[in-house]
Amino acid sequence: MKTFQSIYRASAWSTLLVQHSSAQLVMTYGNRDFALDQTLYTDIQQAFPNAQIVGCTTSGEIQGAQLHDDTLCLTAIEFDRVNVEVFSQLASDFNNSFQLGQALARGIPAQGLKHAFVISDGQAINGSELIAGISGVLPENVVVTGGLAGDAAKFQETIVWHNDQKVSGLVVIVGLYGDALVVGHGHLGGWREFGPMREITRSEDNELFEIDGKPALELYKEFLGEHAENLPASALRFPLAMKTEQQEQPVVRTILNIDEQRQSMIFAGNMPEGASCQLMRANYDHLVDGAQDSAEQALTFFDQIEPQLAILMSCVGRRLVLAQRVEEELEIVEETLPVNCAMTGFYSYGEISPIVPAGRCGLHNQTMTITLLSELSGD
């Protein structure tokens, strides 16, 4: 397995693109104008003529231990003994995100599938339903990781691309095949619950109307005080921990949008009635510790081989809280991983990873989620 990385900014690549005809997969994350620039895209196609090109807009690009804005961060991957299949679908072609997820999973061959990586629109998709649809079709032993595209902290429109298709509402699934592939994954947040435990008393899928029988948006605004005028972005600092009776551990949910007329809040994933919820907050040290724990968790999947590529998905809410110290969580991940492990990824509107290390995948918010990839040699 070999990787090539470069960053496009100010009309130039940090490392000149030269032809890598053996690369099977190219990931590009970043600025929508760069992604939609046909001249720039043609340069990428010519450099990697046999690769599937996937990516999305972000709330900040990750390359190495550095955070970038208004760039296009590129990582090309060349496998020796691993095959790649990529399939994409538009949300507008389906009645709901569950059906979309099912179609995506059926779009890649199941035979020999070792891992699936998903890049999804971050606004037009119900992440919980999408993942449920994917997981219901894929073999139980296949782990799914990935993330939801970002749009800084604007929450207006996200764009996902797969080769020549670059639109909002697109979801891409990347299938990785072969016993030579070694995959590790980990996720942790560092947020802490506070205040009383409450009950979700009225909701529809990912739209929350009432908590403890009271309008959810009204309660949230009362808590935020003067910060309420900056919703939904200000809600990123105070997500909700949500847990159903069927869940072993709570998941974190953060707001994607609000509806003043309906007095509701729209989340990236489902908020089922009867579930318990509790407000959360974090400090710098807890978030950075969570990033380190995520990397250590992912490394437990590796024994006689070191990971060669780390794909990081960190929530935009973490970036807002960490502010000028945001690169500390990237640096601690870099320090935890082997020296020669390349790093890429982005700040997202949602992260996809198993709820527990050996379980099925789920949607997370406000976490640092890490996917580690490596390839066994043929010796």
pLDDT in tens, 225-251: 888 888 887 877 788 888 888 877 778
Residue 135 has pLDDT above 50, yes or no: yes
Q: Report whether pLDDT(72) > 80.
A: yes
Q: Choose the final residue of a domain: 228, 252, 280.
A: 280
Residue 107 shares a structural domain with residue 255:
no
User: Could you read off the pLDDT of 90-99 as tens digits, one per residue?
Assistant: 999 999 999 9
Question: For residue 164, which of 35, 73, 61, 48 has the smallest C-alpha distance?
Answer: 35
pTM of the entire structure?
0.87
pLDDT of 193 reads 84
- Report the distance separating Cα 371 and Cα 379, nearest Å: 25
- The structure tokens listed for 302 are 């590796």
Same domain, 147 and 14: yes
Residue, of 193 and 183, whose pLDDT is higher: 183
Q: What pLDDT score does 109 carry?
A: 96
Query: Is pLDDT at 114 greater than 80 in this prediction?
Result: yes
Alpha-carbon distance 67 to 59, whole Å?
A: 10
* 359 DSSP assignment: S
- Between CA 235 and CA 84 the distance in angstroms is 38
Tell me how far apart the alpha carbons of residues 9 and 70 are, in angstroms, rounded to a whole number.
7
Structural domain including 293 reads 2-188+285-375
Residue 242 structure tokens: 């949500």
Let me know if 96 is exposed, middle or buried by CB neighbors in 10 A (0-12, 13-18, 19+): middle
Whether the predicted pLDDT of 302 surpasses 60: yes
Picking from 28-32, 75-79, 307-311, 316-320, which range would have the lowest pLDDT averaged per residue? 316-320
Domain boundary among 224, 253, 280: 280
Q: Which residues pair with 9 in a beta bridge?
A: 12
How high is the pLDDT of residue 361? 56
pLDDT at residue 200 is higher than 50: yes
Q: At what angle do helices 327-336 and 284-299 cross, to 10 degrees?
A: 30
pLDDT in tens, 344-369: 999 999 888 876 544 455 677 778 89
Which residue is associated with the tokens 């009383």?
196
Number of domains in the chain: 2
Q: How many CB atoms lie within 10 A of CB 95?
A: 8
Give me the mean pLDDT over the 291-317 stretch. Answer: 93
Residues 80 and 104 reside in one and the same domain: yes
Q: Are residues 62 and 90 in the same domain?
A: yes
Pick the last residue of a domain from 263, 280, 297.
280
Q: Do β-strands 255-259 and 170-177 pair in parallel, antiparallel, or remain unpaired?
A: unpaired
Residues 248 and 141 in one domain: no
Q: Are residues 157 and 53 in the same domain?
A: yes
Contact 138, 76 (CB under 8 A): no
Q: What is the mean pLDDT of residues 112-121?
A: 96
Whether 298 and 271 map to the same domain: the answer is: no
Per-residue pLDDT at 310: 98
